[in-house]
Amino acid sequence: MRTLKMLGFGAVMASSLLISNVTLADGASLYTAKMCGTCHGVDAKTPIMGTYPKLAGQNTTYLIQQIKDIRDGTRANEQTAAMKGMMGGMGVSDDEVTAIAEWISSQESFVAETVPDASYSAKMCLTCHGADGKTPIMDAYPKLAGQNAEYLAQQIKDIQAGTRNNGMSASMKAMMASFAVSDDEAAAIAKSLAETPAE
Ligand code: HEC
Ligand code: HEC
């Protein structure tokens, strides 16, 4: 009886593993087929420009939201038009977005150990993104530490200015206004979050 139960449990485990493997495999081939790698790198963390983001290891919920928002034009800041144009040409469905996001999230992460500038905690960034810049309080919030400096600096500015106003960016915009984050502080934070300190 016990052995039978164990066998049953084993079969369930095996089939759920099989399902997640299939999804990840789909995500990997879709990432290539939909040309994501041409801009973000084959490993999803070596983008062709410093103003483009690294993706590998980012939170899944956050990734799904951003990919859909860029595709649908809800996020329309900076160079999103390049990606939107490409996605429109390819046609990427919601299910495909989820599969791709799950695959990206499972890849070896870009996230690194950094020492955030003092203004990062003084201006309350840590309350949402974590003291280390890589442990956000929700899966819908992004990890920052190890991201490209130029990309980070631009996104901070855009969320502050309201040029990027998708997803849950309004909460960050409000906090930045309350704590009066200056351009110099934003630049120093971006630089520190992108740098791995020397030993
Ligand atoms: C033509 C180049 C290009 C292609 C192709 C492209 N992207 Fe992007 N992607 C960008 C750029 C540029 C941005 C940043 C936009 C900005 O300036 O804010 C971006 C942003 C993103 C973001 C938001 C990251 C973050 O930290 O907020 C995700 C996620 C993403 N891309 C995933 C994808 C996926 C998945 C594909 C394939 C379906 C794809 N991209 C195809 C150029 C591209
Ligand atoms: C109240 C919570 C909150 C606070 C405080 C906050 N953020 Fe954010 N931040 C967010 C959310 C949520 C997003 C994603 C918005 C979305 O849904 O598109 C975000 C996005 C970002 C991004 C874009 C990342 C990417 O991959 O595109 C950067 C960079 C960033 N925050 C830096 C900061 C900095 C620096 C501070 C402090 C000055 C800060 N945040 C304060 C919630 C917050």
pLDDT (0 to 100) of residue 51: 96
CA-to-CA distance for 48 and 80, rounded, in angstroms? Answer: 14
d(CA 192, CA 120): 9
Q: What is the DSSP string of 151-168?
A: HHHHHHHHHHHTSS--TT
Residues sharing a CB contact under 8 Å with residue 149, sequence separation 6 or more, in sequence order: 50, 190, 191, 193, 194, 195
| Whole-number pLDDT of residue 196 | 77
Q: Whose CA is nearest to atom 5 of ligand 2?
A: 125
Q: Residue 156: CB within 6 Å of ligand 1?
A: no
Fold of the domain built from segment(s) 2-106: Cytochrome Bc1 Complex; Chain D, domain 2 (1.10.760)
d(CA 93, CA 81) in angstroms, rounded, equals 18
**16-35, pLDDT tens digit by residue?**
555 555 577 799 999 999 99
Mean pLDDT of 77-100: 95
Summarised one tens digit per residue, pLDDT across range 136-178 is 999 999 999 999 999 999 999 999 999 999 999 999 999 999 9
- Report the separation in Å between the CA atom of 51 and the middle of ligand 2, taken as the mean of its atom positions: 17
Q: Is the pLDDT of residue 1 over 50?
A: no
Nearest atom of ligand 2 to the alpha carbon of 62: 17
- The answer to whether 107 and 45 have CB atoms below 8 angstroms apart is yes
Burial 120-136 (b: 16+ CB within 10 A, else e): beebbbbeebbebbbeb
Every domain of the chain with CATH number 1.10.760.10 lies at 2-106, 118-194
Average pLDDT of the chain, as a whole number: 91
Topology of domain 118-194, per CATH? Answer: Cytochrome Bc1 Complex; Chain D, domain 2 (1.10.760)
pTM of the complete model = 0.91
